[in-house]
A and B are shown apart, each in its own frame.
Chain A
Amino acid sequence: MKCRKCGGTAVLELRRHNAAFCATDFQEFFRNQVREAIRKHRMFTADETVLVAVSGGKDSLALWDVLIDEGYRTTGLYLDLGIFDYSVESRAKCEAFATARGVPLMIKRVEEEVGAPVPVIKQVTRRPPCSGCGLSKRYLMNRAALEAGIPVVATGHNLDDEAATLFGSVMHWQMDALPRQSPALASTHPKLVRRVKPLYRLSERETAAFAFLRRIDYIVEECPFAKGATSIAHKEVLNRMEDASPGAKHNFLFGFLDKARPAFERAEGVELHECTRCGQVTTGTLCAFCKLADQVKRSL
């Protein structure tokens, strides 16, 4: 197979683009997709510091790598979930990357912030581990950015992540989630920072290939709690569809963003308050994070 741009030996075929690229031209294609995402959704400007949420996986480290090379001022944020060896190893990957690239990395421990690590939260809440984990991550990312005076958090969510989330929302017709699924969420309250997903145009195979070609040392093993997660099941379904019909995932997500999403936007906004305990934003009086911390405290 030949590279579409230079005719050299291709290293990766992108069936959905009916193309294949050599290592050099693929990396340029990848960077162009990130540039286009940032430009199209006005994710951030060259004057702003970007807080990059990193997990030690391929997506977030690839994102950080691109943003550094594009000249953005970045700070990494690693949330230590306390998931046994997985967290120890993923933290080490993030620290090694930050040291090698000479960029700052903030580390927050979920155990310190919530009162227990994710495996204990899972037992206490009797809910899927991804539930308490996701809630804690979203809360801590926002708070860390606010405390550091950083206006925007960038996460490594890719096209597959976004398509799987959309699939899940549609399967259950989650009318509140659909309008909020976007590559860029503006700040709607002084205590909510902007949240952006500069990799949403790239599939996870593309981010994996980029990380491999850039020789980024990322954690290949998956989170031990990810097995059986609904989002993984949705990704498997979508991959079967993609195999039968290249571009299916792309069309599903981009069709929604371009055509369907506006139809789900509600006229009236949700009223936002500040949590009576921690002061972070909530739709009620006590935020979900403080409720979770209470639940953990009671059970210990």
Chain B
Amino acid sequence: MKVVLRNPRREVEVAGNRRVKDVLRDLDIIPETVLVIRGDDLITADQHVKDDDTIELRPVMSGGSASRSAGEASQ
């Protein structure tokens, strides 16, 4: 099956016919850090993916600048 990864965008081939959580474990990706997208849908980690499926693992992390709640315009 095909897995689309981001930042940078790339594709990898991995074995299918198993649960999403097994694919994530193989790729050493923490489930909390990605959305799992198949077609137009989000799917949960217990779902089975087939050998001819394509899924996107879209990272959810953003930012860089610490929010610094503290930061006033004055600082």
Contact = CB atoms under 8 A, between A and B. Distances in A.
A226 interface: yes
B64 A220 contact: no
B68 A143 contact: no
Interface in A193-211: 195, 197, 203-205, 207-209
Given A11-B41, A23-B42, A212-B42, A164 B73 contact: no
B35 A209 contact: yes
A230 B67 CA distance: 12
A235 interface: yes
A229 B64 contact: yes
Interface stretch (A33-41, A68-76, A94-102, A180-188): A180-188
A134 B30 contact: no
A6 interface: no
Interface residues of B, number: 34
A281 interface: yes
A208 B35 contact: yes
A142 B73 contact: yes
A80 interface: no
B65 A229 contact: yes
A225 interface: yes
A57 B33 CA distance: 16
A165 B69 contact: yes
Contact of A243 (B32, B65, B66): B32
B63 A180 contact: no
A105 interface: no
A242 B31 CA distance: 10
Nearest to B33: A239
Interface string B42-75: 1111110000000000111111111111111111
B10 interface: no
B47 to A, nearest CB: 8
A24 to B, nearest CB: 13
B42 A11 contact: yes
Contacts of A11: 41-44
Interface in B1-50: 6-7, 30-35, 37, 41-47
13 contacts: A12-B42, A23-B42, A133-B64, A134-B66, A134-B68, A138-B75, A165-B68, A220-B7, A222-B62, A229-B65, A230-B66, A232-B63, A243-B30
Given A1-B44, A59-B62, A235-B61, 19 more contacts: A10-B44, A11-B41, A13-B44, A20-B44, A133-B65, A138-B73, A155-B67, A157-B69, A160-B61, A169-B70, A181-B70, A204-B60, A207-B60, A221-B7, A222-B61, A225-B64, A235-B63, A284-B74, A288-B74
Interface pairs A-B: 4 shortest CB-CB:
A226-B64, A282-B74, A180-B70, A208-B60
